Amino acid sequence: MHYNAFKDIIHGRRSVRHYTEQPVTAEDVRELIDCARYAPSDTNSQTWEFIAILNTELIKQIESLTWDALHERAQTAEAKGLTREARMLVKSFGPYATAFSGAPALIICLATPYTSKFREKIFDPIELVPNSVWEEEGIKSSCLAIQNLMLAAYARGMATCPMTGPVLLAEQRIKELLQIDESRTLNMVLSLGFPSDTPAKLARKPVEDILTIVQ
């Protein structure tokens, strides 16, 4: 592949929230996960797992769990006198947190604990870092795999939208619903489908504003 063709994929990907009724197949998902699993990871630990939900009723159930948790948070805020913030939470954040509801597929992206011979033989014995850091290591590598998945989906004519709202609001409830082991961290969810529209490209910071070159 020529560099410009790959750059077109990166520049063309969008976070899409509206999809056609065309179903996502198990084979579609397998192809995308085949691309995701070739992401780099810390000492090749491959700290990622995915749950692909193709059952739209189950997707709606996860949406309901998220809305329930959101309204509970809003009620708590309102009880503290934060009425304006509570209303904004429901009206502004709510639709973003549940933008997966109309998608034909939902990918639950999990991060698994980081384990390696280095951690076992060196890092843990000398207490290199707190245990919480190893959870972060798993999440970092998982994010690399998720980016692979999103780019592969776009190259396949599909679209995704990464969301952390359901995680912030209802991680434990989703874990219980899907019987996800407590050792797994719910990193984010991805809506997946065939786009019914193409959002405009959002502005990005200029390269000069985010890059420092040391020679």
119-128 as b/e, with b when 16 or more CB fall inside 10 Å? beeebeeeee
Q: pTM for the whole thing?
A: 0.92
Q: How far apart are CA 19 and CA 192, in angstroms?
A: 8
Class of CATH domain 3-200: alpha beta
pLDDT by position in tens, the chain (length 215): 799 999 999 999 999 999 999 999 999 999 999 999 999 998 999 999 999 999 999 999 999 999 999 999 999 999 999 999 999 999 999 998 999 999 999 999 999 988 888 888 999 999 998 888 888 889 999 999 999 999 999 999 999 999 999 999 999 999 999 999 999 999 999 999 999 988 888 999 999 999 999 99
Gyration radius (Cα) of the chain, Å: 19
